[in-house]
Amino acid sequence: MSELESNMAENGGGAVAPPADVSTAMKVVTPNPETVSAAEALKLEGNALLAESKLGHAVGKYTAAIDLHPTAIYLSNRAFCYVKLEQFGLAILDADMALELDSTYVKAYYRRGSANMALAKFKLAVKDFRKVTKMQPKSKEAAAKLKASEKMQKEAAFAAAIMTDADVPLAEEINPDEIVVDSGYDGPRLGDDGEVTVDFCKAMMARFEEQKLIHKKYIVQILCQVYKALKDSPSLMRLHIPEEEGSHFTVCGDTHGQFYDVLNIFKLNGLPSAKNPYLFNGDFVDRGSFSLEVVTTFLALKLAEPEGIFLTRGNHESKNMNKIYGFEGEVKHKFDQTVMTLFAEVFCWLPLAATLDGGVFVTHGGLPAEDSCKLDDIAAVRRGREPPDSGIMSDLMWSDPQPFTGRSPSKRGVGMAFGPDVTKAFLEGNDLKLLVRSHEVKEEGYLVEHDGKCITVFSAPNYCDQMGNKGAFIRFGSDLEPQFTTFEAVPHPAVRPMAYAGAFGNVMGL
């Protein structure tokens, strides 16, 4: 646990009176002692819920406390919850208001820096962490966060300066045959033709389960092959349920490096095949520390059973997220930068969405910001790049549903929030009946909203080893009616989430 976050939520003695020059963004009326006491009690309830990782409930308690008596502590505590929920836009707003109330409250700078880091706003993150180090000059943790954010700022600037459209991807230049497999390697091997078979996949998964890796040569071969296959795939996949009577199609949500829970999905529902097809809806990596095993399994199965497994891109299949949430560190620990570069190139060619029998629309985040957007517009989105800050690609990967009508700025700081009227209009305008998306942890593993027209499915149970949620997957038959299966987390080796995230692990609240 980090030094600055060792008390996840401030438990200090009582509410702090706000300064007299609070801006109109946070009007504060001096409360009576009873109100102060009631607000403090709500904060303590929120702290207890936060300690149990009941983040949504904790947010509710902090919000009630803020409504009674806004203080920098209460706002910063809620910002901490929002960072852990990846609602970075809301975290920044709360940290801003906390600092209006108390410009010396160090945790508000820290949490705003964390949120800015996650949004790749590295210049702003550096500014916040510099403030933290000035306020706590003896804090080794604060110095580490500043160093990490400065490094990312420099790396981003350098990458932007040298990037050109003429660059040849590594996947098109590297020759896997030049990688020598040492005689002591006792794992599964690909043949001379490099064909990835189901038997190879099964042997590889068994080896992963024993916490062993396959040889780098075979990882490189898989990534180079799947890179070429994905380049030839469309941005919008038009998928179909097998024609055999009783056939179905399974849609899974985020798996986030929880390899042993992925194995459990296959145990419950069978391995992917043309007769038992799956769509995994993004966010295969990050957070969980077996991300390499998860995504390599999916990619190898895609080569072995091309009509048995389909993959869409999530917001965590991107360089910025991978730097912060552990996948890059994991790949470098288990292999090297060459392998990480190949993964990044593969991610850029993942499809963005799919339709199922022309009736169900599946994408990781949510709907585009433009009312006029049609399926053909989604199909025409250019891939082969990192996701931009706005536009159709960004919206599909980042957006979330909201309970009220219309659109609103995203709580995440990227993408949009869309209401039931937006969902209805998009579905009707494209002759669809249902939206399936992922992107958000749900207590039961799924949630049906927007008058039954929007389903969130999340397949990483006990997310980050602390959320206590169930996982779920959806089966669709020929009638396109969703059938839900929920499941609990299974044991995994004692490797904590984000074990390879380095300094960023504590920044993000783990």
Pair 450, 227: CB distance under 8 Å = no
In a domain, 48, yes or no: yes
Task: Tell me the CATH number at 373.
Answer: 3.60.21.10
| 322 & 381 share domain | yes
What local confidence, expressed as pLDDT, does residue 18 receive? 34
Query: Is 268 found in the same domain as 405?
Result: yes
Same domain membership, residue 390 and residue 283: yes
The average confidence (pLDDT) of the chain is 91
Instruction: Give, for 226, the enclosing helix (H) or strand (E).
Output: helix 216-231
pLDDT 10s digits, 328-341: 999 999 999 999 99
Helix (H) or strand (E) holding 164, with range, is none
Sort strands 353-356 and 236-239 into parallel, antiparallel or unpaired: parallel
Q: Which residue has the higher pLDDT, 30 or 407?
A: 407
- Asked if 80 and 509 count as a contact pair (C-beta separation under 8 A), the reply is yes
Which residues touch 370 (CB under 8 Å, ≥6 apart)? Answer: 392
Is pLDDT of 218 > 90?
Answer: yes
Closest CA to 440 of 459, 418, 416, 426: 459
Q: Are residues 368 and 441 in the same domain?
A: yes
Q: What is the C-alpha to C-alpha distance for residues 360 and 376, in angstroms, rounded to an integer? A: 15
**pLDDT(13) > 50:** no
**pLDDT for res 446:** 98
pLDDT per position as a tens digit, 352-365:
999 999 999 999 99
Per-residue pLDDT reduced to its tens digit, 487-499? 999 999 999 999 9
Q: Which residues constitute the domain of residue 272? A: 188-507
pLDDT digits (tens, 9 = 90+) for 219-233: 999 999 999 999 999
Q: Quick one: pLDDT band at residue 118, thresholds 50, 70, 90?
A: confident
Report whether pLDDT(180) > 60. Answer: yes
Alpha helices in 14-121 (DSSP H): 33-51, 55-68, 72-84, 88-101, 106-118
- Poorest-confidence range of 154-168, 243-257, 266-280, 369-383? 154-168
**50 or 159, greater pLDDT:** 50
- Looking at the structure, tell me whether residues 206 and 304 fall in a common domain: yes
Residue 173 resides in a domain: no
If asked whether residues 336 and 423 sit together in one domain, one would say yes
Same domain for 404 and 326, yes or no, is yes
Region 60-75: what's the mean pLDDT?
A: 96
Q: Which of 128, 162, 196 is the last residue of a domain?
A: 162
Most confident of 141-150, 240-249, 345-354: 345-354
Q: Name beta bridge partners: 310.
A: 279
Listed residues 162, 197, 223: the one ending a domain = 162
pTM: 0.89
Would you say 426 and 367 are in contact if contact means Cβ atoms under 8 Å apart? yes
Q: Is residue 7 part of a domain?
A: no
In a domain, 211, yes or no: yes
Given pLDDT bands bounded at 50, 70 and 90, which one contains residue 6?
A: very low
pLDDT at residue 27 greater than cutoff 70: no
* CB neighbours of residue 141 within 10 Å: 19
Looking at the fold, whether 58 and 146 belong to one and the same domain comes out as: yes
- How is residue 330 written in tokens? 């994991």
CA 462 to chain centre: 15
pLDDT number for residue 263 = 98
Share of residues in the chain with pLDDT > 90 (%):
81
Q: What is the pLDDT of residue 12?
A: 43
pLDDT at 373 over 50: yes
User: What pLDDT sits at residue 167?
Assistant: 78
pLDDT at 10: 55
Residue 384 CB coordination number (10 Å)? 11
- Asked if residue 204 and residue 156 are part of one domain, the reply reads no
* Nearest C-alpha neighbor of 462 from the set 496, 433, 434: 496
Confidence of residue 165 (pLDDT cuts 50, 70, 90): low
Q: Examine the domain organization and report whether 132 and 194 are in the same domain.
A: no
* Domain tally, the chain: 2
Is residue 61 domain-resident?
yes
Q: Which residues are the active-site residues? A: 316
Percent of the chain with pLDDT over 70: 92
Query: Can you list the positions of beta strands (E) in 315-432?
Result: 353-356, 360-363, 400-401, 407-409, 416-418
CATH number of the structural domain spanning residue 90: 1.25.40.10
Same domain, 136 and 285: no
194 and 128 belong to one structural domain: no
DSSP state of 254: B
Residue 9 lies inside a defined structural domain of this protein:
no
Question: Is 246 a domain residue?
Answer: yes
What is the three-class DSSP state of 365? Answer: coil
Domain-embedded: residue 6: no
